[in-house]
Structure 1
Amino acid sequence: MTDDSQRDDVDPVTLEVLRNAFATVAEEMSANLIRTSYSPNIKERKDASSAVFDARGRMLAQAENIPVHLGAMPHSVRTVVETFEGAFEPGDTVIHNSPFSGGAHLPDITFVSPVFVDGTLVAFVANRAHHADVGGSLAGSVSADATSVFAEGIQIPPVKLFERGEVVDGVLDLLTENVRTPDEREGDLRAQQAANETGRKRFEALIEKHGRETVEATADRILDYSERRMREEVHDLADGVYEFADALDSDGAGAEDVTIRATVTVDGSSVAVDFAGSAAQVAGAVNAPIAVTTSATYYALRTVTDPDVPPNQGCYRPFSVSAPEGTVVNARKPAAVVGGNLETSQRIVDTVLGAMAAAGVRPMAAAANGSMNNVTFGSADSSLADPYTFYETIGGGYGARPERDGVDGVHAHMTNTQNTPIEALELAYPLRVERYALRPDTGGAGEFRGGLGIRRDIRVLDHDASFSLLSDRRRNRPYGLDGGQPGAAGADRVVIDDEERLLDSKTTLELSGGDLVSVRTPGGGGFGPPEDRSPAAIARDLEEGRLTAEHVAEHYPHYDGK
């Protein structure tokens, strides 16, 4: 680390102006990507992220998008930079999605574009977006029963999709020939390119206004500043070794209680997180590449430190992450990984935060619902004029915190997406949403109640469809803290020919017109002993329908109705 207090090559005003300018470039890239995309998954749910990197591939700034994208994106950019070192030209864009060389899972395609000024490479701009289909065995490419990455879609090593500003037709054709919805995919891919073009132009304008030497020197200063701020935060944590373990319900292929174990060592100004003792990689699709594990760990540590520390490569320098190769948190090819990015990332967060709670870090929230509750529908009827793939994640309860109830019905932790509005869903797909509501009684009881889960019922209209549910916390409930009780587990159902049955947390089904799926997500954990909850808060929850009288009688027996 360079002691930026001893440097005088950049004045503080310029530093602050350019720090915010880098962040603004990333934010404008994301806004352009979302605005110009084709699929509801990106346009409505905003399942995409953008960031700005220096010429060495160090992240300078990120937009406030999806945590699981942003912490892992530097791995992808580093792979691209190393692969094409010395071979970049103005107007190039390299794409990449390989989970075992810096990627996360196959639906997340990363675009990396160099920025040149007067023939000199000065920066990279990058974005990542979740595509609603990238091929594989199941429409939507989020298959709960995949047992190999080869069943999950097309794997893209670093390759130029745009060369000197022109699309490489052969590469684009290769991609669109391997997906079920080629027009939508091409539209989203071109939206990603448009976002990077926005980033290029804005960064070039910064160089023109401030000069290359000033911008480069400021970039170094910003990274050092974030590192110093983060090390000061870590110094405030109690030195020690803290352990915690949690588990995924299953892998969807026969393994149950898939353990994730973290040992967190706080030593002065650094934090080391070791995942030794975690389960070996499994047959099912919940294996996480190391980039995902690193991303989730960084996120968890950021939540217990000052959120105003600028999010860039510098703020991660005090953190180190290790995980034995061949485990569920550092999987080897050809492991199935789509759920590692979606579900295992959430459990890694729960595990690291559990260790920090054991370290006495406060304020700390109880466990959130702990699942992205991934739902995928795709047309299976070749008579449909317009085949479709629909993917979304569904929120749940957030964990209760000291002095405050958990938030009801939100996306938590590694996902920061929005919901798909019912109107947009029904306009784009032959599906109908018949119920969308909070689930009463699902927040863990406590002095402060956990947030409530969600119920979302979707009916297939007049066609056959494939369906996949990739979820968790249907058996192992989200933990409470300081005497708070766990949140309720999720409990999903399907109705076929008027017969209702419970679904496993990782399920793939073939549905017919008229069949209905009811996704019911977990609640968040409670905080503090339930007997300390105020009667006024209980009365309010009863009046608003968040709690039933039966639940109150069981969990809050001190309540006398007054």
Structure 2
Amino acid sequence: MSTDPQQLAIIKAGLDAICREMAVNLRRSATSSIVREARDFSVALTDAKGEVVAQAECIPIMTAGISLAFADIAELVDVSTLTPDDAFIMNDPFSGGQHLQDIYLFVPIVVDGTVVGFGATTAHHVDLGGMHAGISTQATEIYQEGLRMPLSRFSISRDWENPRGFVRQVVGANVRVPDAVIGDLNAQFAANQTATRRLGELMQRHGVAACTAVMEELKDYSERRFRDAISQVPDGRYLAEEYFDGSAYGVGDVPICVQVEVAGDEMRVTFDGTGAQVLGNVNCPVASTVSAVQSAIRCCIPVEGIDFNEGCNRPIDIEVPYGSVLNPAAPAAVRSRLTPASRVFNAVVRALGEAIPEQAVATGFDTTTAIAVSSLVEGRYQVALEILGGGWGACAEHDGADGLDNPISNCANAPVEALETDFEHFWIDEYAIVDHSGGAGASAGGRGIRRSYVAKQDGVKVAGYSDRHREGPDGRDGGASGAPGAHAIVRADGSSERLSTNYEAVLNRGDRIVVVTGGGGGFGAPPADR
């Protein structure tokens, strides 16, 4: 059916509003600080085929991966047989997922007896079992990282809402903090219920046929607009290389090599020359690699007035060598997959900066700096998980931002007060911007942060990972590099030890771990008097 432009605009606004409400409800319903405060989650509406048609502004690498996570739905089940009591859960990195902590939850939206779409949510859960609370940094295979769930259909009333339900029991029995994990999954259900209710209301108001037609037209419209934007990029083959520090895993620098080919209104992105998968937790599932590429291209080729839905991905062909660190073979460990994924983002941005100089930007610290602080007292676990950001790269128009998570992650920094209210085993005695950590330039790179956690009791365990501890990110067009990051433990007696980029340690009362993130690169030669 043909779509009236005014009706299309009204229905589109309704779809966008549904996703924003989903995000608000998920955050306000969440239990853990990583979801409630850091906002490490994403939400979307899909059509009946599982393709994203609308999304809220949350975590780019998660939202970009929703369609990939749900790609097997047609092979798994006849969609027409689904009921409002059905749901799907998955977190398998080798079947379209990211890493085990990111659990995807899909609920069919049934209107007048027909499945018209799905409410889709994903959240980073504070613990999924594994070798170490929060982060299993020493894992060498996925079995050591926690509970792995392929895309699976289950009954909400029988398997979840029932306290003895199978899915609820399996999840609760395999995690250290079941109240937090189950609480956050309930928040995902609440967001999906919002999608079900609001999309049903929208379709009652405008008609099922009109709304489903708009869903298709929005994808087609985004594709047309995005193809037009790509066609403005000069044809050619643009190359870039990044690397991450593999010394903590017994290897040297691991190269991330990208080739971006632009031909007319299409792009082809390949990764020949990228390093092989690593015996450690730093491999990147192909869904994360694809999501990082899509996010980078969308950042470099801005198109005003369109939503980023599945239509935007149609002009982009991505090939990733199997067995590489960006497409590892099972059962590789993948917990720290954002380290190579961030270098994918950096490499694509750098390559496109050669094609579109006006969009060029210096490299940011762009490193997920994750830390888990846990305690086990009298059989009860407390697990705090933090994602800390650094300085962003500068561009011609302005300085880089200070203390922000990297662009494909986009988590917020949790307030000190919230953490100290939630947890009894540590306190934070410093949270500060690191002066002079951004690279100098005509526009200066953003500055990193310093955060210090002090153990309030003996036996507090910490684990974490990061990158760029040897060298900071590059500047551009004469700008200086940003400062590197660092992790260190300072004992109560004054002694200290520097930590690697992937570590586990134990703190006793009065010991502290100090986490420093690096700055972003500067852009342009700095003025002589600056």
- Please give the TM-score of this superposition, normalised by the length of structure 2: 0.96
Q: Does 1:390 align with 2:384?
A: yes
Q: Does 1:88 align with 2:82?
A: yes
Q: CA deviation at 1:513?
A: 2.1
Question: Which whole-Å deviations, capped at 9, do the CAs of 1:191-240 have from their partners, x for residues lacking one?
Answer: 11111111111111111111111111111111111001101110111110
Tell me which moved more, 220-229 or 15-24: 15-24
| Mapped contact 1:251–1:283 kept (Cα < 8 A) | no
Query: What code does the residue aligned with 2:464 have?
Result: L
User: Aligned pair 1:104/2:59, yes or no?
Assistant: no
Structural mapping, 1:375-524, within 5 Å: 375-379=371-375, 381-383=376-378, 386-429=380-423, 430-496=425-491, 497-524=493-520
> Are residues 1:330 and 2:327 paired?
yes
Match of 2:202, SS state, is helix
The one-letter amino acid of 1:465's match is V
1:254-273 correspondence to structure 2 within 5 Å? 254-273=250-269
How far apart, in 2, do the equivalents of 1:325 and 1:20 lie?
A: 40
Aligned twin of 1:311:
308
Distance (Å, rounded) in 2 between the aligned partners of 1:57 and 1:251: 40
Is 2:226–2:303's contact at 8 Å kept on the other side of the alignment? no
Q: Report the Cα distance in structure 2 between the residues aligned to 1:160 and 1:514, rounded to whole angstroms.
A: 48
Q: Percent identity?
A: 36
Asked whether the 8 Å contact 2:471–2:483 carries over to 1, the reply is: no
Match of 1:66 in 2: 59
Describe the SS at the equivalent of 1:388.
Answer: strand
Give 2:248's aligned amino acid: G
Q: CA deviation at 1:372?
A: 1.2
- Partners of 1:405 and 1:207 in 2: CA distance: 45
Q: C-alpha separation between the residues in 2 aligned to 1:318 and 1:165?
A: 42
| Structure 2 SS opposite 1:390 | strand
Alignment check: 8 A CA contact 2:85 2:155 kept: yes
What is the CA-CA distance between 1:489 and the residue it aligns to? 0.7
Q: 1:210 corresponds to which letter in structure 2?
A: H
Structure 2 residue aligned with 1:287, among 283, 286, 293?
283
Residues 112, 126 of structure 1: 8 Å contact kept? yes
Where 1:216 maps in the other structure, the secondary structure is helix
> Post-superposition shift, 1:89?
1.9
Distance in 2, matches of 1:445 and 1:101, equals 43
SS at match of 1:405: coil
User: Which residue does 1:48 correspond to in 2?
Assistant: 41
Distance 1:274 1:251, change over 3 A: farther
Tell me the distance in 2 between the aligned counterparts of 1:194 and 1:412: 28
Q: By how many angstroms is 1:378 displaced? A: 1.3
Q: What is the rounded CA distance, in whole Å, between the counterparts of 1:377 and 1:81 in structure 2?
A: 41
Bigger CA drift: 186-195 or 265-274?
186-195
- Tell me, yes or no, if the aligned pair for 1:251 and 1:285 is still in contact at 8 Å: no
**Contact 1:252–1:285 (CA<8 Å) still a contact in 2?**
no
Q: Give the letter for the 2:310 counterpart.
A: Q
Match of 2:71 in 1: 78
* Conservation of the 8 A alpha-carbon contact between 2:225 and 2:303: no
Q: Counterpart in 2 of 1:345?
A: 341
Answering whether residue 318 of structure 2 is matched by residue 321 of structure 1, we say yes
Aligned-pair distance for 1:40? 1.0
Residue ranges of structure 2 left out of the alignment (5+ in a row): none
Give the aligned CA root-mean-square deviation in angstroms.
Answer: 1.5
- Give the corresponding residue for 1:137: 131
Residue in 1 aligned with 2:18? 25
For 1:487, what is the secondary structure of its paired residue? coil
Q: Which residue of 2 aligns with 1:13?
A: 6
Q: 1:230 aligns with which of 226, 235, 243?
A: 226
Which stretch has the larger CA shift, 488-497 or 286-295? 488-497
SS at match of 2:70: helix
Q: Which amino acid aligns with 1:313?
A: E
CA contact (8 A) 1:374 1:469 kept: yes
Q: Is residue 374 of structure 1 aligned with residue 341 of structure 2?
A: no
CA contact (8 A) 2:365 2:518 kept: yes
Conserved? CA contact 2:399–2:444, under 8 Å? yes
Count how many residue pairs are aligned between Structure 1 and Structure 2: 523
How far the C-alpha of 1:166 sits from its partner, in A, is: 6.3
Map Cα deviations across residues 136-165 of structure 1 (whole Å, 9 max, x no partner): 00001x222211111111001122354468
- 2:32 maps to amino acid: S
Gaps of 5+ in 1: 1-7, 539-562
State the secondary structure of the residue aligned to 1:191. helix
Aligned 1:532-543 pairs, distance under 5 A:
532=527, 535=529, 538=530
- State the Cα distance separating 1:79 from its structure 2 match: 2.5
TM-score scaled by structure 1?
A: 0.91
* Secondary structure at the counterpart of residue 249 of structure 2: coil
Letter aligned with residue 241 of structure 1: R
Deviations 1:7-56 (A, max 9, x none): x7111111111112112111111111111111111111111110000011
Matched residues in 2 for 1:84 and 1:516: separation? 51
Aligned partner of residue 252 in structure 1, secondary structure: helix
- C-alpha offsets along residues 484-540 of structure 1, whole Å, 9 cap, x if unaligned? 11111112211124211211111111222221000010100010012x36x4xx4xx
Partner Cα separation in structure 2 for residue 115 and residue 165 of structure 1: 19
Measured in 2, the distance between the counterparts of 1:399 and 1:311 equals: 24
CA contact (8 A) 1:80 1:112 kept: no
Q: Distance in 1 between matches of 2:116 and 2:518?
A: 46
Matched, 1:158 2:151: yes
Deviation at 1:91, TM superposition (A): 2.1
| 1:467 aligned partner, one-letter code | V
Deviation at 1:371, TM superposition (A): 0.5
- Residues 90 and 370 of structure 1: CA distance in aligned 2, closer, same or farther (over 3 Å): same
* CA drift at 1:170: 1.2
Separation of aligned partners in 2, 1:164 and 1:175: 16
Displaced runs of 4 or more, over 3 A: 160-166
Q: Which residue number in structure 1 is paired with residue 31 of structure 2?
A: 38
Distance 1:336 1:166 in 2: 29
